[in-house]
Structures are given as structure tokens and as C-alpha cells.
Amino acid sequence: MSTFLGMPAPPPRSPYGTGNLRGDRAFPRAAHDELGNEQLRRNLGRATGTIRAKRLSVTGELSDWEALRDAGSAIKTDTMNRLPELLEQLERKVTERGGTVHWARDATEANAIVARLVRATGSDEVIKVKSMATQEIGLNEHLESVGITPYETDLAELIVQLADDKPSHILVPAIHRNRDEIRQIFRDHIPGVDPDLDNAPAHLAAAARGYLREKFLTTKVAVSGANFAVAETGTLAVVESEGNGRMCLTLPDTLITVMGIEKVLPRYQDLEVFLQLLPRSSTGERMNPYTSLWTGVTPGDGPQDFHLVLLDNGRTAALADALGRAALNCIRCSACLNVCPVYERTGGHAYGSTYPGPIGAVLTPQLAGMHAAKDDPNSSLPYASSLCGACFDACPVKIDIPSLLVELRHQHTEQTGVTPEKLAMKAAAAVMRRPALYAAAQKASALGRVVAGRDGTISRLPPPLSGWSDSRDTAAPPRETFRSWFSSDEGRATLRAAAAERNSDHNEEDAT
């Protein structure tokens, strides 16, 4: 039943040139332009600050938050280990309950399946629940190219779609737009909208409600993603706030759900973990307003024709990487985006992928590769980080994003052959292996103080290190190396004083 013929082969990445897993320029260039957008930085600063505070307050409420993270992380690891059997079980359960399961190797195949299923209903339009998977494969563009009109129904996705824009955040895709811009987008693109519409968020939301209500009530086909799928029971889950998800999932005759193969969970009970981790991590709420759980088809309630499309599109390539596979544990909560100092300043567009921010910088090269083209923009993503570690602390399933970024940087320098950075690292390794040379190099590096400015930083290094200094300031080397300080009179005296202090502390402890 499998193509396993002796030696296992590394699975392919998402094919080059399809979907939305690659920007058209490297991160530093894209970020440079975004940094010039003051409005974007103001919006992002306020939004991420607010959401960070909310998240900390609601996660702090749970005395067992760390135990939930441990459980969530272990459930996902267990899932990846048993993925074939879990997917087969999911397929069996969904089929038993009257659903149909489809498998898609990549974006092109998934798009073709969805288009064929929509055509079979006779409809030339679909309503859509916000979904990262369909954004990743570029489903909307494909449906339009074959004459099917997709309507995004999440308010933020609607704003993005009407403006012919791209999402910039996993959770709040239109976070880069302010209320005045949104009012203008609605006035320009919603037929029959009140020309006196003001910029109050409540009024803008009401305008979207009025526009979409007719679509909800009359469209016969819906497309969604899934937050979770339970192998044990065949139950699918969509987590949302506005009710647009519930509308799409229950009012049409046909429902097509596109889901990455990594979203499966072993047991129904596992929902008790993720229904606590996800809302608190993503919006900082104790629970999102609406969650829909459905299992196949229920006679007399909801769509009577249900299709589940299981998507690979590079996920198996990520799975085959011993370290990188942890990125597949991601539950798309966006907590890492909201704590990231780099994302907060550049916004999501600079990453060029459906998945921005720290997790995007890891997941995107994993799914689509970073050497598929000359100067592949994805090869710049592992460097789009200060490695401060805030994303690791925030991740509800404990993905060690900083370590994965470092590993991807390593893979990048290995792959790209001779670069100034690789030469420098090689030279450093050779010097560090030889103590005498190392000591000499340390003395020489004190010369760096001469080229440093008054603030003690070097803003421009000579080639071959200029690539490094173009994007960051370098701290000047210290006046004295640790080794030379250690062997000086001052160093010895300090160490003696420290040892004496430590001994007297011990004596005090003994006395009490």
C-alpha cells in the first residue's frame, strides 16, 4: 500500500512556483520598505502590546498552564510518531459517518480537487471560513481562474480580499489596516454600502454583516480549514469568534474542508488540552466565542455532503527532518508573532509567506525549501530573528523556534557553498582549535576598539564581514580578554575575594 521500496527517500518539498509559501524578495529588502511605514508600526505596536498583556493575564489564571503545555507538546509529538495510523483511522471514521476523504500531494492537486467538487454541485461561488491551509495553496486564485467566485467571510479576510491585499498576521490578517483605511475599502468595494459610513469599528462590522448575510443565506457550497481533527471519532473542529464560521459550516448543502495532515489529534479527550491552550495563547481569551465540532454528516442538521481534503504540500519533507519536524506541532495560535521584536517592526508581509513571524521563518523553509531558486527569498527567513527566545517562551506547544532557526542557518550556510560568513566561521573554527593562535587572535581583536565609534559599536566592518555589519551594529571587543584578565594580579585578587566570601556564607548557613 505504500511506495516504500527498501531505502526510504526524502519526501519532496512544496513544489516551486505554486501557492503562497515564498515572497518575491529577500526578508531584509522587504523589511526595509515595511519599516518606512509608520502607520504599520503604530498599529502593530499597539495590537501586539495589547494582546501580549491579555495573554499573560489569562494564562496566569491557570495554575496548571505549564502542565497543559507539556501535555500539548507531547500529544503533538505522539501524533507525528503515529501519523500514518492516525490518518487512516480518521479517514475510516469520517467515511463511516458519511463523509468523503481526499488526499492531495501538493497545492495544485488540492486546488483541483476543491474546484472539481465545487463544479459537481453546479455552483459557481463558495463562501469561505478563514483558513491558513487554503491561503497557503492559493485556493482563491485558483478558483477564480476556473470561474468560481470565493467569498471570504471572516471580517479581516474580507477586508484583505476586497483590497486585493495579502494577510499580514495569522490571527488578525488585516492588522496592518486602520479604521479609516477599512472604511475607504468598504466604501469602494461593497456594493450599495452607505456612502456616509463612518469609521467606528461597530459600524464597519455592521456593514460587513449586511453585505455577507445574503451570501450566507443563499450560497450552496462552503470551504473551510480545520483547527483539529480527531482520529478516534472522525470529529473536525473549527475555532472562531464572529459566527461566520458557524454560518459556513452549517447553512450550505456542501462543505469542503482542507486540512494539513499534521492537524490530526489521536483522541477526543485531547480537545480538553487544546481548547485551553489555543484561545488563551492566540487572542488572550479564556475561550473563543464559537467552536464548531462535527463528525461526518448528521441527517437533518448541516451540510449533507461533506468532503475532507488531506494536504501534504511539503509537510512530509518537514517530518523527515529530525529537528525541523517540531515545527509541524504548530497550532497556528500566533502567540510567537505577538512577542517577536522583529515581527512587531516589520509586520507580516516582509516574510513573503502565508506563515509570517517566528514560526513562519521556520515553517516556510521547511515546507517549501530555501534553495529552490537562485537567491531563494526563503533562505533569508532563518536570519529574520534576533534569537531572543521570546517565541519559545510564548509557544503553547513548546516549539523551540530559536534552535530551529539556528539549525536552518546552519543548513543554509552548508548548502550555499563559499560565502563570506562561511569563510569567517571556518576561520574561527580553525583558530579556536589552536590555543596559541586563539590567544594571539584575541589580542589582535582588541584592535577592534580602534575602529569602534564612541558608543562602543562598530557600524561598518571591512569585507568579507561587511555582509554582517550591513544589517547590524557590532559591539567592540572588550579591552582585555577573560584569559588575560584571569592571569593578571587584579584577576587573581578578585577570585580570592570571591572564594573567601563564599566560605563565610557557608559558615553562616551552618550556624543557623
CB atoms within 10 A of CB 47: 17
**Nearer CB in complex with other proteins: 159/404:** 159
**Nearer CB in complex with other proteins: 339/384:** 339
CB atoms within 10 A of CB 493: 10
Q: How far is the CB of 387 from other proteins (least distance, A)?
A: 24
Q: How far is the CB of 500 from other proteins (least distance, A)?
A: 44
**Nearer CB in complex with other proteins: 22/130:** 130
Residue whose grid cell is 477599512:
182
**Nearer CB in complex with other proteins: 267/345:** 267
Q: How far is the CB of 427 from other proteins (least distance, A)?
A: 32
Cis peptide before 464 (omega within 30 of 0): yes
Q: How far is the CB of 70 from other proteins (least distance, A)?
A: 5
Is there a contact between 163 and 185 (Cβ–Cβ < 8 Å)? Answer: yes
Q: Helix, strand, or coil here: 305? A: strand
**Nearer CB in complex with other proteins: 37/474:** 37
**Nearer CB in complex with other proteins: 202/511:** 202
Q: How far is the CB of 222 from other proteins (least distance, A)?
A: 12
Residue 331 main-chain phi, psi, to 5 deg: -105, 15
CA dist 308 and 405 (Å) reads 33
CB atoms within 10 A of CB 440: 12
Bridge pairing between strands 235-240 and 474-475 = unpaired
CA distances for 454 relative to 442, 443, 478, angstroms:
21, 21, 14
**Cα separation of the two ends of the chain:** 71
**Nearer CB in complex with other proteins: 20/338:** 338
**Nearer CB in complex with other proteins: 23/279:** 279
Q: How far is the CB of 404 from other proteins (least distance, A)?
A: 14
Q: Give the H or E element holding residue 439.
A: helix 435-445
Bridge pairing between strands 457-458 and 305-311 = unpaired
Q: How far is the CB of 191 from other proteins (least distance, A)?
A: 18
CA dist 227 and 263 (Å) reads 7
As beta bridge partners, residue 150 has: 126
DSSP-derived secondary structure for 454-484: TTSEES-PPTTTHHHHTTS-EEPPPSS-HHH
Q: How far is the CB of 4 from other proteins (least distance, A)?
A: 6
Q: How far is the CB of 270 from other proteins (least distance, A)?
A: 8
The set of cell numbers assigned to 410 is: 546552519
Bridge pairing between strands 125-128 and 221-224 = parallel
**Nearer CB in complex with other proteins: 219/380:** 219
CA dist 472 and 224 (Å) reads 42
CA dist 95 and 102 (Å) reads 11
**Nearer CB in complex with other proteins: 290/468:** 290
Residue 309 main-chain phi, psi, to 5 deg: -105, 115
Could you say which DSSP state residue 163 is in?
T
Q: How far is the CB of 33 from other proteins (least distance, A)?
A: 22
